[in-house]
Amino acid sequence: MNGSFTPRNVRHEMPRYLLARRQGLHRFQTPAPQCTHPERGCCLPMNSLLMSLVLFSSALGFGYTIERTAQDAPLVAFAPRRDPVWLRDLDPSYQELVGVMRQKGFTIEENAKICKKHDVVGFYSWGDRAVKVCTARIASLNGEPSAFRALLQQTIAHEAVHVAQSCRLSRVGKSSLELSAARLYALPQSVRSEIERSLATAYYDSPRSVRWRIEAEAMAMEDTPDEVIAALKRFCR
């Protein structure tokens, strides 16, 4: 079951890693062969048995040096995660919402392939651990900073509702967050029309009444991030 978010009336998370260089590996040099006959002006090879023992000891010592170094010095270092620029511009309650999603193991992926494939500003595939947010499209619809922020916040909250619904479905077999019917039917007619368009283009494997409620709940909770946070904390583990 997939949930996508399309704009209405021109309205409607990922860390980088750096591989560190291998540090602290000690160099081990094989002892140079000893000159047994310096008077001849050259170094002759030592006894073959003694040479074999020297080479074996060298290899053993070199392997031990690497193994100990690997245990004592980490070979991979993780760079601090860089949050997207837009995150710090969100209202505090929406920043908290993103933080709770991360705590629950969900990430926000910007401008995924789905953003170019479909006319949406957000997308969530049920059971997935990543929410897709199409910031490039949001910017094209609302380039003015305050309008961009408003649509982005609504998009994040909308998809986060679908995350909470998916969590509840996994836990108790029910996708609805049980918002009252009065609240859902009080949505503006323009929003209800948008829900109808969404149902006509999206694929679901559940009855139409369930599909309608799923989208209506997401629409109704877009502007109440505290309520979305509570749902995530309650149903997602």
More confident residue, 14 or 196: 196
222, 121 Cβ separation under 8 angstroms: no
Residue 168 has pLDDT above 90, yes or no: yes
More confident residue, 12 or 218: 218
Which percentage of the chain shows pLDDT scores above 90? 56
Residue 59 has pLDDT above 50, yes or no: no
The model's pLDDT over 190-211, given as tens digits with 9 standing for 90+, comes to 999 999 988 886 666 788 899 9
Q: Please state the domain extents for the chain.
A: 2-16+83-235, 19-77
Position 61 scores a pLDDT of 45
Position 225 scores a pLDDT of 98
Position 12 scores a pLDDT of 40
Which percentage of the chain shows pLDDT scores above 70? 64
The model's pLDDT over 75-88, given as tens digits with 9 standing for 90+, comes to 444 445 578 889 99
Per-residue pLDDT band at 142 (split at 50, 70, 90):
confident
What is the residue-averaged pLDDT of the chain?
Answer: 76
3-state helix, strand, coil in the chain (%, to 5): 55, 10, 40
Per-residue pLDDT band at 3 (split at 50, 70, 90):
low
Per-residue pLDDT band at 5 (split at 50, 70, 90):
low
Position 48 scores a pLDDT of 47
Position 43 scores a pLDDT of 44
Residues 45-73 have a mean pLDDT of 43
- Buried b / exposed e over 86-118, threshold 16 CB at 10 Å, is bbeebeeebbebbebbeebebebbeeeebbeee
pTM comes to 0.66
Count of all residues that appear for the chain in the document: 237
Cα(122)–Cα(171) distance, integer angstroms: 24
Pairing of strands 107-110, 130-133: parallel
Angle at 66 between CA 65 and CA 70, to 5 degrees: 120
Position 169 scores a pLDDT of 95
Position 19 scores a pLDDT of 28
Neighbour tally for 154: CB within 10 Å: 25
Q: Pick from 203, 204, 192: which is nearest to 8 by CA?
A: 192
